[in-house]
């Protein structure tokens, strides 16, 4: 079954309004003929300016996180309704750095996912194992739990993007081999089939999010179950265009 690939950048806590707009201006002509969907998920404070910078291009702007509440006493948080007002199309949810540094849980991931969907924002739900979990042979057990708890109550799984990001490969320069990435993402698709339906699982976009870069993107994207990438460091430079144009 044909799935349109999706390459998304995750700027993390990088860029300013000026440098971000300059990068988008440089990237736009390089990715305008891409055969995949393209997005940049940027810090919340940059969303208004980056939305302006990307206007008229095929680059969608996404958020790096979203809170589950519509409003309330949640100092420092951003609601889905706020993001929606700026035309945000995607929100990264449950990134390993959010789990590791800010204590986000599978239950929180679930609530954030449902809030995004309720507001027409596509959640990019991140799952993945640590190095010790991989070495202990519990990769599938960990990811199955993250999927079961994180996707509970989702009515249409086709509206969710899954990003497999082996924690041991994020920001370390290490990357799963093409075979390792394919094997785990195939498991994720199988698990989604069990949780929802096999046909639905064949329509879900599953990205690889562990240090995909200009040098390894072709091999990873050639795998049958890998539908794109959630790109960290490489999305901060023009290398991102090479990844987007992996098939050229």
Residues with catalytic annotation?
A: 95, 165
The answer to whether 31 touches 244, Cβ cutoff 8 Å, is yes
Residues 6+ apart with CB under 8 A from 70: 79, 80, 81, 115
Q: Where are the beta strands (DSSP E) in 109-190?
A: 122-127, 161-164
Cβ atoms within 10 Å of 149's Cβ, excluding its own: 14
Q: Where are the beta strands (DSSP E) in the chain?
A: 6-10, 37-42, 59-63, 90-93, 122-127, 161-164, 206-208, 228-231
The answer to whether 116 touches 93, Cβ cutoff 8 Å, is yes
The bridge status of strand 6-10 relative to strand 37-42 is: parallel
- Residue 7, by phi and psi: left (phi above 0), alpha (psi -120 to 50) or beta? beta
Composition of the chain by helix, strand, coil, percent to 5:
45, 15, 40
Read off the tokens for 65. 């996180």
The answer to whether 63 touches 90, Cβ cutoff 8 Å, is yes
């Amino acid at each position: 079954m044909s799935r349109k690939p999706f390459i998304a950048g995750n700027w993390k806590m990088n860029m300013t309004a000026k440098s971000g707009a300059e990068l988008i201006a440089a990237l736009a002509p390089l990715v305008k003929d891409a055969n995949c969907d393209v997005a940049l998920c940027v810090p919340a404070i940059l969303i208004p300016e980056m939305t302006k910078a990307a206007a008229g291009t095929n680059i969608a702007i996404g958020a790096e996180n979203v809170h589950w509440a519509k409003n309330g006493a949640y100092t420092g948080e951003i609601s889905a309704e706020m993001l929606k007002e700026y035309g945000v199309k995607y929100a990264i949810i449950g990134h390993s750095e959010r789990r590791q540094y800010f204590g986000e849980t599978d239950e929180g991931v679930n609530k954030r996912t449902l809030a995004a969907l309720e507001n027409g924002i596509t959640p990019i739900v991140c799952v993945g194992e640590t190095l010790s979990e991989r070495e202990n042979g519990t990769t599938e057990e960990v990811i199955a739990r993250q999927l079961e708890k994180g996707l509970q109550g989702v009515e249409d799984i086709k509206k969710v993007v899954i990003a497999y990001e082996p924690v041991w490969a994020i920001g370390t320069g290490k990357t799963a081999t093409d075979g390792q990435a394919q094997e785990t993402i195939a498991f994720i698709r199988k698990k989604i089939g069990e949780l929802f339906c096999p046909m639905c699982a064949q329509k879900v976009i599953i990205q690889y999010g562990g240090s995909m870069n200009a040098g390894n993107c072709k091999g990873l994207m050639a795998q049958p179950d890998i539908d794109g990438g959630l790109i960290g460091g490489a999305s901060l430079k023009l290398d991102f265009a090479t990844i987007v144009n992996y098939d050229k």
